[in-house]
Amino acid sequence: MGAPRFVFYAVNGLGLGHVTRLVSIARALRRLSPGCEVLFLTSSEADHVIYREGFAAVKLPSKTIREHCGLRKGSYLKLAQTVTWNTISAFDPDVLVVDTYPTGSFEELLPVLRWRQKNVFVFREQRAEAAGSQLLQATLRLYDRILIPHESVSQVGPVPEPTKALAVGPILIRERHELPTRAQARKALGLPEEGTLLYASFGGGGDPEAARALTLTAQVARELPGVRLVVGAGPLWREPPPTLEGAVVLQGRYPALDFLPAFDAAVTAAGYNAVHELLYAGIPSVFVPFERMVDDQEKRAREVTAAGAGLDCTPLTREGLTRAVREILNPDVRQRLSAAARKKVERNGAEPAARALLELLA
């Protein structure tokens, strides 16, 4: 057998979670099997971050861009199906890896899952009604391996063939030894060596609620003497982020783990990647859950708070955020939360996930 070939399929979202998880696995896969061929097939508008990590990608227009540019739904579906099927057929992968949506964006993967390649699904925790849907459960039977990016298979709910499921732990794009020190991260960002820095970010930039959250956070930060706000404006921002008096804006920086150690505390959305990256880096954080159709951010924030590894700000109000930020900037609270955060996410599941892909071909 020649060098194995892998296709990673990532849909577009309001953030970069789908792309980041798959890039994380692909990086580990390349370390374990340097000669392997990897191709991404994605509708993410941040496909450039895939290239920056050293991988090729075939780009489809996202649903958001289709609506913005006036492409008819029928024309778009035919285009997306044709490109998806032809790309996978031409590349002829040994393994197809899919994240979160087992049928694809619009069920275009259903025929493909019956082709010759092995199929692997990355099954992140979802709302119970989504995880237990008849279509999702039926489609899971077409996969040869189901990777759970959590500590337990039970976190994703029912799985029709439990022997196929493997819990690998949170999947992250950097190993712990790759993280910079506080001083290194601040120098790379051009930030002062001393002083209290508060980081704020609310997703990759595709969420319309992010502007309100950032504005409230900036208002709170301005009331705190000696605190400087640094805003992470994700790669999906289509317009400049709102004007934030006194704040430093990091435009398009990715991935966050390359600079998170620079900060003393953070206020962020409670998405999968944001939460696990901040816990992994040991950054004391206030998590603001956003409403999502599939991802239960409220549940994730509650669990982190219950573990003593972070604070939950629900609902998002100026008064509630002020209380949470003041608490998290207390040195004793920061120390306690930081230790609990690192304990909650002690390891990176990217390499175990990559090993599982290679084991399918053994």
Q: What is the CATH number of the domain that holds 184?
A: 3.40.50.2000
- Return the amino acid letter for 20: T
Give 44-99 pLDDT, tens digit per residue: 877 888 999 999 999 998 887 888 888 898 998 999 999 999 999 999 999 999 99
Distance separating alpha carbons of residues 309 and 243, to the nearest angstrom: 31
Residues 209 and 125 placed together within one structural domain of the fold: no
Predicted confidence band at 242 (pLDDT cuts at 50, 70, 90)? low
Percent of all residues in the chain with a pLDDT value above 70, rounded to a whole number: 94
Domain count within the chain: 2
Distance separating alpha carbons of residues 178 and 191, to the nearest angstrom: 20
Residues 125 and 18 placed together within one structural domain of the fold: yes
**Picking from 211-220, 279-288, 328-337, which range would have the lowest pLDDT averaged per residue?**
211-220
Distance separating alpha carbons of residues 286 and 112, to the nearest angstrom: 42
- Return the amino acid letter for 50: I
pLDDT attached to residue 213: 87
pLDDT attached to residue 90: 97
Residues 219 and 162 placed together within one structural domain of the fold: no
Residues 72 and 184 placed together within one structural domain of the fold: no
Q: Which residues pair with 269 in a beta bridge?
A: 288
Distance separating alpha carbons of residues 18 and 14, to the nearest angstrom: 10
pLDDT attached to residue 234: 67
Residues 124 and 156 placed together within one structural domain of the fold: yes
Q: When comparing pLDDT for 5 and 100, which is higher?
A: 5
Residues 141 and 284 placed together within one structural domain of the fold: no
Distance separating alpha carbons of residues 22 and 173, to the nearest angstrom: 9
Whole-structure pTM value? 0.92
pLDDT attached to residue 112: 97
Hunting for tokens 């930060």 — which residue is that?
221
Predicted confidence band at 146 (pLDDT cuts at 50, 70, 90)? very high
The separation between CA 103 and the C-alpha centre of its own chain, rounded to angstroms, equals 19
Residues 51 and 157 placed together within one structural domain of the fold: yes
Residues 180 and 168 placed together within one structural domain of the fold: no
Residues 65 and 193 placed together within one structural domain of the fold: no
Residues 355 and 309 placed together within one structural domain of the fold: no
Secondary structure element (H or E) that encloses residue 97, with its range: strand 95-99
- Return the amino acid letter for 341: A
Distance separating alpha carbons of residues 335 and 227, to the nearest angstrom: 17
Residues 152 and 216 placed together within one structural domain of the fold: no
Can you give the residue range of the structural domain that contains 154? Answer: 5-172+348-359
Distance separating alpha carbons of residues 271 and 276, to the nearest angstrom: 9
DSSP string, 218-254: HHHHHTSTTEEEEEEE-TT-SSPPPP-TT-EEEES--
Distance separating alpha carbons of residues 78 and 108, to the nearest angstrom: 10
Residues 324 and 202 placed together within one structural domain of the fold: yes
Secondary structure element (H or E) that encloses residue 331, with its range: helix 331-344
